C-alpha cells in the first residue's frame, strides 16, 4: 500500500476513535464508529491475498451489523425520549440492544466467532491494531453508559467469555488465534466489573494494552507465528524469549506479576458487592486461560 494512503487510513482510525470518545450525541458516536471501521478495511485487505480479503469481508459485515443495531437503538430511544444524549437510555429495549451490539463489535461470546478468523487472515501488525486500538471506541461507549446497561446480560457475557476463551485457546497452535482468545477472556473480566467500578474497568483495559502490545511487537520483530516458532525464539533472541515468558505469565494473572493486580482488584470488588458466586466462577474459568498461557511459557523454554 502507498505510504501516503496508509498514513491517511491510520489518521482516520485515530479520528474515528476521537470522535466517538468525545461524543455525547448518539449520531456523532455512530459517525465515529463508521469512520473507524471504514478506515481499517483497506488496512485489512492490503495484502491482496484471499485470506486477507475474506478477513476484511467478515470484519466489515460484523461491524456494519453492530453499527446498524446501535443506530436503530439510538433512534428508538430518541423517538421515545426526545433526546440523543448517550447517557439517557430510559427506553427499555435500548440498553440491551446497545450491550449486544457493542459486545459484537468487541468480539465477546457468543458473538466471538469472527475475531480469531479475522486475526488469522491478516498480518501480525494488523492483528495488533484489532486487539488494541479497535477495542477503544466500543469501550468508550460502554464507559459512558455503564450505569444504565443491564447487569444480567453483562455478567452472562463475562462468564461465557472467560469460559469459552480458555477452552478454545487450549486447542490452538497459531499465536494470533491464541491472542484473539486472550482478548476475549480479558474483555470478559472487564464486562464483569463494568457496572460496579468504571475506574477499575479503565485500569484493567490499560493493563491489558500494556501487556498485549509488547507481545505483538516481539512476534512482529521475530516473525513468530506458531507455537513451534515460539520454541525456537531462544536461539535467535534470548532477551525476547525471556520477555515473552514474563508477559505470558502476566497475561495469565500469575502473582506477583502485573496481570495479577487487576484480576485481584476485580475479585475484591465483586466480593465487596456480595457477588461471591460470580467471583468464584470467574476464578475457576480463568484457570483454563492460565493453562494455555503456561503451555506457551513452557514451549518458549524448551530450547533453553
The answer on pLDDT for 139 being more than 90 is: yes
**Tell me, what's the pLDDT at 82?**
85
The answer on pLDDT for 220 being more than 70 is: yes
- Band (pLDDT 50/70/90 cuts) for residue 289 is confident
Contacts of residue 28, defined as CB under 8 A and 6 or more positions apart, other chains included, come to 19
Residue-averaged pLDDT of the chain = 89
**Tell me, what's the pLDDT at 89?**
84
171 vs 70, more confident = 70
The DSSP annotation for the chain comes to --HHHHHHHHHHHHHHHHHHHH--BHHHHHHHHHHHHHHHHHHHTTT--HHHHHHHHHHHHHHHHHHHHHHHHHHHHHHHHS--BTT---STHHHHHHHHHHHHHHT-TTS-THHHHHHHHS-HHHHHHHHTGGGHHHHHHHHHTGGGS-HHHHHHHHHHHHHHHHHHHTT--BHHHHHHHHHHHHHHHHHHHTTT-HHHHHHHHHHHHHHHHHHHHHHHHHT--BHHHHHTHHHH-HHHHHHHHHHHHHHHT-TTSTTHHHHHHHHHHHHHTT-HHHHHHHHHHHHHHHHHHHHHHHHHTTT-
Domain ranges of the chain: 1-138, 150-303
Q: How many CB atoms lie within 10 A of CB 304?
A: 12
The answer on pLDDT for 4 being more than 90 is: no
Mean pLDDT, to the nearest integer, of 269-287? 90
* 224: phi then psi, degrees, rounded to nearest 5: -95, 130
- Band (pLDDT 50/70/90 cuts) for residue 293 is confident
**Tell me, what's the pLDDT at 303?**
52
**Tell me, what's the pLDDT at 31?**
93
- Band (pLDDT 50/70/90 cuts) for residue 287 is confident
- Band (pLDDT 50/70/90 cuts) for residue 195 is confident
- Band (pLDDT 50/70/90 cuts) for residue 3 is confident
Distance CA 227, CA 301 (A): 12
- Band (pLDDT 50/70/90 cuts) for residue 83 is confident
Q: Is 133 exposed, middle or buried (0-12, 13-18, 19+ CB in 10 A)?
A: middle
The answer on pLDDT for 148 being more than 60 is: yes
> Which residues share a beta bridge with 174?
226
Q: Which three cell numbers stand for residue 111?
A: 458473538
Q: Is 207 left (phi over 0), alpha (psi -120 to 50) or beta?
A: alpha
Residue 256, preceding bond cis, omega within 30 degrees? Answer: yes
The answer on pLDDT for 184 being more than 90 is: yes
Mean pLDDT, to the nearest integer, of 146-158? 91
Mean pLDDT, to the nearest integer, of 116-138? 93
% of the chain at pLDDT higher than 90: 55
**Tell me, what's the pLDDT at 132?**
94
**Tell me, what's the pLDDT at 244?**
87
Mean pLDDT, to the nearest integer, of 132-160? 92
Mean pLDDT, to the nearest integer, of 92-121? 92
pTM over 0.75: yes
% of the chain at pLDDT higher than 70: 98
- Band (pLDDT 50/70/90 cuts) for residue 235 is confident
Q: Which three cell numbers stand for residue 162?
A: 472467560
The answer on pLDDT for 284 being more than 80 is: yes
**Tell me, what's the pLDDT at 300?**
72
> Pick from 268, 295, 293: which is nearest to 279 by CA?
268
Amino acid at each position: 500500500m502507498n505510504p501516503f494512503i496508509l498514513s491517511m487510513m491510520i489518521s482516520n482510525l485515530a479520528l474515528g476513535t476521537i470522535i466517538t470518545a468525545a461524543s455525547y450525541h448518539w449520531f456523532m458516536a455512530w459517525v465515529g464508529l463508521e469512520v473507524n471501521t471504514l478506515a481499517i478495511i483497506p488496512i485489512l485487505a492490503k495484502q491482496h491475498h484471499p485470506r486477507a480479503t475474506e478477513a476484511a469481508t467478515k470484519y466489515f459485515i460484523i461491524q456494519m451489523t453492530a453499527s446498524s443495531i446501535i443506530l436503530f437503538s439510538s433512534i428508538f430511544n430518541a423517538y421515545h425520549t426526545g433526546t440523543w444524549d448517550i447517557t439517557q437510555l430510559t427506553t427499555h429495549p435500548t440498553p440491551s440492544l446497545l450491550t449486544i451490539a457493542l459486545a459484537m463489535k468487541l468480539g465477546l461470546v457468543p458473538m466471538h466467532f469472527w475475531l480469531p478468523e479475522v486475526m488469522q487472515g491478516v498480518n501480525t501488525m494488523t492483528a495488533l491494531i484489532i486487539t488494541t486500538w479497535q477495542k477503544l471506541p466500543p469501550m468508550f461507549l460502554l464507559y459512558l453508559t455503564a450505569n444504565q446497561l443491564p447487569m444480567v446480560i453483562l455478567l452472562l457475557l463475562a462468564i461465557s467469555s472467560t469460559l469459552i476463551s480458555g477452552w478454545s485457546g487450549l486447542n490452538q497452535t497459531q499465536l494470533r488465534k491464541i491472542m484473539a482468545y486472550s482478548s476475549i477472556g480479558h474483555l470478559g473480566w472487564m464486562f464483569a466489573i463494568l457496572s460496579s467500578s468504571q475506574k477499575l474497568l479503565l485500569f484493567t483495559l490499560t493493563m491489558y494494552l500494556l501487556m498485549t502490545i509488547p507481545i505483538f511487537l516481539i512476534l512482529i520483530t521475530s516473525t513468530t507465528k506458531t507455537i513451534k516458532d515460539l520454541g525456537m525464539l531462544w536461539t535467535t533472541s534470548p532477551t525476547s524469549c525471556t520477555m515473552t515468558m514474563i508477559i505470558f505469565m502476566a497475561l495469565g494473572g500469575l502473582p506477583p506479576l502485573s496481570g495479577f493486580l487487576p484480576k485481584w482488584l476485580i475479585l475484591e470488588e465483586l466480593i465487596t458487592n456480595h457477588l461471591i458466586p460470580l467471583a468464584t466462577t470467574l476464578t475457576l474459568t480463568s484457570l483454563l486461560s492460565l493453562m494455555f498461557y503456561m503451555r506457551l511459557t513452557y514451549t518458549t523454554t524448551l530450547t533453553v
